[in-house]
Each structure stands twice: as structure tokens, then as C-alpha cells.
Amino acid sequence: MSLSARNRLQGTVTNVETEGLMAEVTVELGDGQEVTAIITSGSVDRLGLAEGDEVSAVVKATEVMVETE
Amino acid sequence: MSLSARNRLQGTVTNVETEGLMAEVTVELGDGQEVTAIITSGSVDRLGLAEGDEVSAVVKATEVMVETE
Amino acid sequence: MSLSARNRLQGTVTNVETEGLMAEVTVELGDGQEVTAIITSGSVDRLGLAEGDEVSAVVKATEVMVETE
Amino acid sequence: MSLSARNRLQGTVTNVETEGLMAEVTVELGDGQEVTAIITSGSVDRLGLAEGDEVSAVVKATEVMVETE
Amino acid sequence: MSLSARNRLQGTVTNVETEGLMAEVTVELGDGQEVTAIITSGSVDRLGLAEGDEVSAVVKATEVMVETE
Amino acid sequence: MSLSARNRLQGTVTNVETEGLMAEVTVELGDGQEVTAIITSGSVDRLGLAEGDEVSAVVKATEVMVETE
């Protein structure tokens, strides 16, 4: 199974907060940077997401912006 | 200046490819993982994006999915 | 600091409603039109968003649709 | 016919640029601010979009970010 | 009235769940497949969405990914 | 491998058009309705997408709007 989304960042779930229909999942990458995902509580249940899980944060390339300093 | 987008991943631009209205920008993070962004060629010009630039890949949390293995 | 997102509409915050993980922020533009943003409550806290603030509503160009009448 | 998207900004098309599969449409709002949309060339053709058209720029609320100064 | 979004899938609302600011709407297509939409509770109210309604699930083409098996 | 995205519509690829960095992929669902995806040409190559392939069109629930008639 393979998905067209270009970005798949591997990391570890460090927090899962569920409230109503929505959930906030924090994933820590290998270099210590964090990615926050807002997904449905239904998906958290279906995937059984919990702290410590090895996951990927997946993002379609058209959703990524670039910021210069 | 501060933006509501929760995800701001710091890295180095390793490739900028422009063709017509769109451009593909590759950013390498500190742990060697890559992020690909599709932005407009107009934004590449305005920001003066080039290989070697230190940038952040910015993503709104609602655009991030989670994948388990 | 400069972001690739092409759309940055200046206006005034006229309402902030927070409930659980999510928040709804209303921004009134100069011509009286309104923009509604759904962001995380975490971002509302971090930015300290409140009624009367001068802000920009920021949208990536690939997220905008066009409707004819 | 009614759409759930919360944001519908009325304006005038000031530029349509088509190149390959994608098109960039510029819409000027009543207060002089501009909105840029990246849509498919197929949609430009189907809607018959041209300079001077009265249109709305439509954006789902979850796609809007807020920036403070 | 015509919208640039390329995808408009007709179906029947089989569930509407509202909680706080957000709502989850399930639409069943003609071939039995389901589409889930997260929209604001404000939009559910404005459209008067309820089980049994004939609606379309609308998605911008840039938001669609492709998965092979 | 399991992805949080709630929508996974099975169908058959009926057209793949690549031009520059972007590609337009058309997927026909079981009830004859079509889904159009704009993805990168890089993803079309990596997945080896071609007419006749059995695929899923994948969409995050926060990207779906609802339209009433």
C-alpha cells in the first residue's frame, strides 16, 4: 500500500488529547522537533493511538509553506 | 510577528525546482528527514529561495495526518 | 521573517470563541467583509488573541476556490 | 444551493494566468486587498473566468490561519 | 452559481454529530461508500443539515491523495 | 499500515495527465461518479499510476465541505 502524499515524518507520539469530536496528537521527530496533528477522535480510536507509539506524520506537499528568517 | 500555524520545522533548502506557476521546494531537517513543499513560483521569487537557505517548513495542524505501522 | 503563503488579509478581530481543543476567530476586513478561522485553542492562547486585535487572516493560495454568480 | 464553507469574499477578477494544468486567479476585494487562488486550468475553462468578472473567493474556515503583528 | 472545486459527490446524509464548535457529517454515496466531513457547527445550523438530506460532498482537487494497493 | 484520514474511496484510474511538476489523476467510483486529484508528477512516477489501476482517493475529513441543493 502506497500513498501519493510526499511527506512522511517518522517520530514518536508524546501526547494524545481527545475532546469531543477532535483530538490533538503530538509527534516528536528524531531531531527533537515536534509536529502537532489535529485529527478526529474517531481516528484516534480506530488507530488505537497512544503515547510512545512509533508513527509517521503525513502531509500532502501542497499543504506545506516555507518561511524565511 | 507570530502565526497561528502550530508546525514550524527548521531545516535547510536542498532543492528548488520551478516550472510554470508552481515550484517544488525540498527542505532537509536536522535528523536527515526531508519535507517537500509545493508553493507558487511567485513566492519562490518573492522570498528569493535558493539551495542552502535556512528556512522553516510551516504546516497548519489540521493538515497533518497520522499513520501507524 | 517572510512566509510563502500568498494571502494575508488585514483586519480586526471581532470575536474569539474557544471550546475544547478548537477555537473560532472572526476577523473583519476593511470593507466590512468577515473571515472566519478555525484554529487550535492552543494557538489562541499562545498568540493571546482577543477582540479588537489588529491581525491578518493568512491563507495558502492552493486553499482558495473561486465561485461565479 | 448553499455550501458549508464559511468564507466567501466578494471581489473582481483582476488577473487570470493559465499554464499547464494549473491557473492563478487574482481577485481584488472592496478595500483594495487582493486574494490569489491556485485552481485547475480545467476549472478556469469550465467557469469561463476572465478579468473583470464579479466572483467570490471561497475558503473553508479550517484553512485560515491568524497572524499577529 | 458555480464553484471551481472539481469534486462534488452526491449522496445522502446518514449522520450529523455536533459537539462544541465542530460537527461530523456522514454522507453515503450511491455505491454504498461513505464520506465523512468535519465542518463547523455554525454551518450545520445555517444549512439546516439533517439525516436524510440529499447533499454533495465537495472537495478541492488539490486536497485529494491517491493510494495504490 | 493505517492512516488517520477518514475518507478512502475505491475506484479505477481513468486518466492521468502530467505536465511539469503537477499531475491530474481522475478516479471513477463504483457508482460512476468521478474524483479528480491534483498530485505531484513525482508521486505519479513513484506510484507508477496508469489508466486502469485500482486505487483509492484519500481525503482528510477536515477538507470536505457539504453543499445542499
Phi, psi (deg, nearest 5) at residue B47: -85, -15
Q: Which residue of B has its CA nearest to D19?
A: B20
Please compute the mean of the pLDDT values over residues E29-40 and round it to a whole number.
Answer: 96
How far is E21 from E35, CA to CA, in rounded Å?
Answer: 20
- Other C-beta atoms closer than 10 Å to the C-beta of E1 total 9
Q: Quickly count: other Cβ atoms within 10 Å of residue D28's Cβ.
A: 14
Helix (H) or strand (E) holding C44: helix C41-47
Contact E61, E6 (CB under 8 A): yes
Mean pLDDT of E18-35: 97
> What are the tens digits of pLDDT across the range C23-42?
999 999 998 999 999 999 99
| Nearest residue of E to residue F25, measured between CA atoms | E66
Closest residue of chain A to F44, computed from CA coordinates: A4
Q: Cβ–Cβ of D2/E46 closer than 8 Å?
A: yes
pLDDT the model gives residue B25? 98
Banded model confidence at residue E18, pLDDT cuts 50, 70, 90: very high
Chain F CA closest to residue B18: F21
Is D67 within 8 Å of B3 (Cβ atoms)?
Answer: yes
DSSP code for E32: S
- D58 closest CA partner among F59, F65, C30, C17: F65
Task: Report, in angstroms and rounded to the nearest whole number, the Rg of chain C calculated over CA atoms.
Answer: 13
Q: Smallest Cβ distance to B3: which of C6, C40, C58? A: C58
Instruction: List the pLDDT tens digit at each of the 69 positions of chain B.
Output: 799 999 999 999 999 999 999 999 999 999 899 999 999 999 999 999 999 999 999 999 999 999 998
| Chain E contact residues (CB < 8 Å to F) | 5-10, 13, 24-25, 27, 29-39, 43, 47-49, 53-69
For every one of its 69 residues, what pLDDT tens digit does chain C have, with 9 covering 90 and above? 799 999 999 999 999 999 999 999 999 999 899 999 999 999 999 999 999 999 999 999 999 999 998
Nearest-Cα distance to chain B for D69, in Å, is: 4
For residue D10, pLDDT beyond 80: yes
Which residue among E8, E49, E64 places its CB closest to the CB of F57?
E64
Q: Which residue of A has its CA nearest to E18?
A: A21
Distance CA F62, CA F7 (A): 10
Q: With an 8 Å Cβ cutoff, are A24 and C5 in contact? A: no
Q: Does residue D1 register a pLDDT over 80? A: no
Nearest-angstrom CA–CA distance, A28 and B10 = 14
Which of A6, A47, A58 is closest, CB to CB, to F42?
A: A6
pLDDT at residue E12, rounded to an integer: 98
* Nearest CA distance, E43 vs chain D (angstrom): 5
- Cβ–Cβ below 8 Å for B37 and A64: yes
Asked if A27's CB is within 8 angstroms of B61's CB, the reply is no
- Give me the CATH topology for the region D8-59: OB fold (Dihydrolipoamide Acetyltransferase, E2P) (2.40.50)
Span D12-58, pLDDT tens digits? 999 999 999 999 999 999 989 999 999 999 999 999 999 999 999 99
Task: State whether E6 and D42 contact (CB < 8 Å).
Answer: yes
- pLDDT at position A69 is 85
- Chain B residue with minimal CA distance to D40? B21
Number of other residues whose CB lies within 10 A of the CB of residue D3: 22
Yes or no, beta carbons of C4 and B61 under 8 Å apart: no
CATH classification for the domain delimited by A7-58, as one of 2.40.50.100, 3.40.1190.20, 3.40.50.740, 3.20.20.105: 2.40.50.100
Confidence at residue F28, expressed as pLDDT on a 0 to 100 scale:
98
The answer on pLDDT for D69 being more than 90 is no
pLDDT of residue E69: 85
| Residue-level pLDDT at F69 | 85
Question: Any idea which fold E7-60 has?
Answer: OB fold (Dihydrolipoamide Acetyltransferase, E2P) (2.40.50)
For residue A19, the model assigns a pLDDT of 97
Instruction: Kindly calculate the radius of gyration of chain F based on its CA atoms and give it in whole angstroms.
Output: 13
Residues B30-69 as b or e (16 or more Cβ within 10 Å = b): eeebbbbbbbbbbbbeebebeeebebbbbbbbbbbbbbbe
Residue D57 has its nearest CB partner, among C43, C64, C69, at C64
Contacts of C61 in chain B (CB under 8 A): 40
- Give the Cα separation of C54 and C50 in Å (integer): 9
Summarised one tens digit per residue, pLDDT across range F46-67 is: 999 999 999 999 999 999 999 9
Tell me, what's the pLDDT at F56? 98
For the residues A33-59, what does the mean pLDDT come to? 98
pLDDT number for residue A57: 98
**Do residues B18 and B41 make contact, with C-beta atoms less than 8 angstroms apart?**
yes
Q: CATH second-level architecture of F7-59? A: Beta Barrel (2.40)
Query: Across chain A, what does the average pLDDT equal?
Result: 97
The residue type found at C57 is: A
Contact A22 E22 (CB under 8 A): yes
| Domain boundaries of chain F, sorted by first residue | 7-59
Residue in C38, C62, C68 closest to E2 by CB: C68
User: Would you give the DSSP letter of residue F33?
Assistant: -
State the ipTM, two decimals: 0.97
